[in-house]
Structures are given as C-alpha cells and as structure tokens.
Structure 1
Amino acid sequence: MKWNSTIGLTLILLASMLIGGVFSGIAGTNLGREALKGITQPDTRPNNLANRKGDLPRKDEVLILPEDKIIANVKTRIGGGKAAAVTAKQVSGASTSAAVDQAKFPFTAESEDVTLEIRSIQQQGDSFIISVGLRNANQTPVKFLYSFLEVKDNQGRTLSANTEGLPSELPADNQVYSGIIRLPVASVDKAEKLSLALSDYPDQKVQLEATNIPVMR
C-alpha cells in the first residue's frame, strides 16, 4: 500500500488531539482535587446535630439571656428615657422663655404726654418689622423728623431704620396713629434686644425711649 501524505497528516493531527485531550483531562482532575481539598460532606445524622456545640438556636427554641445582660439593657433604656425627658424639658423651657418675651409686649415710652407704643417685632422676608403706635395727649401738635429715629442693638450698634405710616405732625387729639419701623435682616444680624429713641423736631422736648425690646426670630 502506497503511503498517502494526506492520510499521514490526518493521523498525526488525530494523535495530537488525543494526546492533548488526555493531558487536559488529567490537568482538570488535578485542579478539581486541589480546589476541593479540606471540604467534607456535612454530617446530617440527628445524633451528631444534637451534640454539636456553638450552633445557632432554631426559631422554635427559647434563647435565655444571662442576668447581667438583661440588667445592662434595662439600665440603657432607662438612661435613654431620662435623656429624652431632659431634652423635652429644655425645649419646653425655651418655649416658655419665648412666650414670656412675647408677653412683655407692648413696650411703652412716654414723655410730655406723648406715648410711643411698641406692639410687636417679627421677621417678614428680608426685613424685621416693628409695629408701633403714637398718641399725643398734649394740647399742641408735635412734629417728628423720623430720619432722627435712633435704633440700636444690645451691642450698641446703630441700625438702619425706615418708618412707614407714621405722621410727620402728631395731632393733639389723643388718638393712636399706627405705623411700622422696618429694619433690614442683615443689619439686625445676631442682635437679641433693641432700643428705640425718638425726639420731636426741632424743640426736642419730647424724648421717647424704649429699651430691652426682644428680637423674636
């Protein structure tokens, strides 16, 4: 039989594939054995499960805590309750303080039978609005130049202020004339209390002063 080069090449390829397959199988088996080293099948026999130590309790088992842990948990909860009570008391105290400050309104200042009444102060947008009223129980009208109105904070700083609705001449009719004093929020800054001073113009006989006006935020 005459040797055919094609048949020979085919046989060589087949032999190479067979040898490669054998070596691949051996290598895969070795890798698998290395990966499974130290792994054993769990023992599921009832007696062995009952005798194992350190297992977690089943759902139907009752877990009994040591007495010292129970006492520690109770103390922790009691301590948390006391802290909450103290916090609530502090908040209540702050609310009471704010209510007391609010109860001081209106603030009044009187001079030469002219009365300045400060009814409230509150923030509206980018301004603090002081609601005021003027009353003249004198027998002659009183003139005011509100550009001379002086507003200071508790640190002694003079604040920018504008008035709206207040008459330039206060009639001698014992009637209350209402208006507002507008302060920019930026000028009030961290002020806690304000003071106002207003005098008539040009005589300056009437000297109206109000102090310790709380800034309500």
Structure 2
Amino acid sequence: MKLNSTVVLTLTLLALMLGAGSVSAFLGFDIGSKALKGVTSPDSRPTSKFASAKTGNSQHGGLMLLKEEEILKTVKARIEGKSKAPKSEQEEEEETETVSNKQKLEEKPQEQVEEKPQPGFPVSAESEGVNLSVQSARYSGGALQLRVKMQNKGKNSVRFLYSFLDVSDDKGRTLSASTDGLPSELPNNSPTYTGTISIPTALLDDVKSISLSLTDYPAQQLKLEVSDIPVGR
C-alpha cells in the first residue's frame, strides 16, 4: 500500500512537470511569434533584384535615389555656371522692353546738343583772316577757364608762341595765364581748333572783365585783341 502511494506521487509530480513544461513552451512560442511579427528576412534572390530594376523602382526606405548620370549633369551645370533659375514672366517682359527701347535709340539718329551760350559770350577778334573767339568762362579747380576757338581763313599758315599771350584785367594789371589744347600753328583754310586759357582765381578777386592780346611768331604781322571778357562771379 505504501509502495502504491509513492508511485502515485511520483507519477503526479511527473505529470505536473510535463504540464508545466508544455505551458512554458507554448507561452514562449506565442510571445516570440508576437515579437517577430512584421520582421522579414532580406530578399537575396537575384531574380527579385532584376525584377525590381526592370520596374524602375528606385525608392528605398522612402528615399528617392538619383541616377549617376543626373548627378553628373547637375554638378557639371553648376560648375559651368549654367544652373540658373527660370525667369519670371515679369522679368522676361522687362528684358524685352529694354531691348526694344535700346533698338529704338540705336535706330534714331543722334541729335547734336547745342551748348547754350553764356550772357556776354562769345567775344571774338579777327586779324589777317585769323579768328580768336572766347566761347565761355567758368571757375573750376581754383582757376578761371576760358574756352577758346581759333581758325585761320587766310591764305598763309600762322604760328603762335603762347608765352607772348598777354592777359590783363579791367584795371590794367597783367595776369599770369596758361594754355591747353591751343595749336602752335594754324594752316591756311584750317578747321576750328578748341582749347582753354586758365587764370588763377586768386588774381580775380575784384575783377569784372579781362582782355587778351596775341600776336603771331616770329613775324608778328597780326594782332588778335579780345576785350571786355566778363569774368564776374
């Protein structure tokens, strides 16, 4: 009787162990299945890779992969400075209007702008067919600048040495002056030459008018005298 109870106890414990093992295995399998749900192994079959290449599916993980040719074209365009933003309609219209206006200006002949004479000008003198004319006077850079025109309508050429140019004010005082652009020789029937005569401003504080006197060199056969040139400020 005692032996039977021992056997029964042993069988009971064995049954409980088997049952517990079975329950543990079931629970572990169930938990593992739920944890691995949605996880798949990578597809390494060559046939599947060729199929995806044929369909042109270039997306992976939500990212768009660019082709190597497109990347090279973009880089080359940026290096050469050809990567420009497209112009808006307004910019295109403004550019077209600018080109049109430019063409109109080129087609229209340029009109010569005549300089408006100053009061009291021009002041001129003539001798032996040679004309000396003072066109205007203005103060600039600490000096009075007289714009002068010269022309020879005579039959003989005339030479000048401007160190013999006499400049005097309305009180008879001699003033120092320098010339720029005036010809050293006027050929016969010459065109009009233009130059300037500059007089320091410091010498003209109380001066209202000046006079010029010039003769040819070395013959001194003509004498050009221009008087009452207004220089008041």
In the alignment, which residue of structure 1 is the partner of 2:150? 134
Q: TM-score, normalised by structure 2?
A: 0.49
Tell me: higher relative CO, structure 1 or 2? Use CA pairs within 8 A at least 6 residues apart.
Answer: 1
Report the number of matched residues: 117
Q: 1:174: how far off? A: 3.3
Q: What's the CA shift string for 1:142-179, capped at 9, x where partnerless?
A: 00000000000001000000000011111213311000
Length-normalised TM-score, structure 1: 0.52
> How many Å separate the matches in 2 of 1:128 and 1:112?
29
Alpha-carbon distance between aligned partners in 1 of 2:183 and 2:204, rounded to the nearest angstrom: 25
User: Which amino acid in the other structure matches residue 177 of structure 1?
Assistant: Y
Structure 1 runs (4+) greater than 4 angstroms displaced: none
Unaligned runs of 5+ in 1: 1-100
- Displacement after TM superposition at 1:188 (Å): 1.9
- Deviation of the 1:104 alpha carbon: 2.2
For structure 2, which runs of at least 5 residues remain unmatched after alignment?
1-116
Q: What is the letter of the counterpart of residue 137 of structure 2? A: I
Instruction: State the SS of the aligned residue for 1:187.
Output: helix
| Structure 2 equivalent of residue 180 of structure 1 | 196
**1:159 equivalent in alignment to 2:175:** yes
Pairing 1:171–2:187 present: yes
1:144 corresponds, among 155, 160, 164, to 160
CA contact (8 A) 1:198 1:208 kept: yes
Cα distance in 1 between the residues matched to 2:178 and 2:119? 26
Q: Which residue of 2 is the match for residue 192 of structure 1?
A: 208
Which residue, out of 113, 124, 137, partners 1:108?
Answer: 124
Query: How far apart in 1 are the matches of 2:182 and 2:132?
Result: 11
Pairwise CA distance, 1:206: 1.2
Q: Distance in 1 between the 2:204 and 2:119 partners?
A: 22
Aligned to 1:49: none
Q: State the match for 1:206 in structure 2.
A: 222
Q: Is the 8 A contact 1:122 1:216 kept in 2?
A: no
In the alignment, the residues of structure 1 paired with residue 209 and residue 145 of structure 2 have an alpha-carbon distance, to the nearest angstrom, of: 14
Please identify the structure whose Cα radius of gyration is greater: 2
Tell me how large the CA RMSD over aligned residues is: 1.3
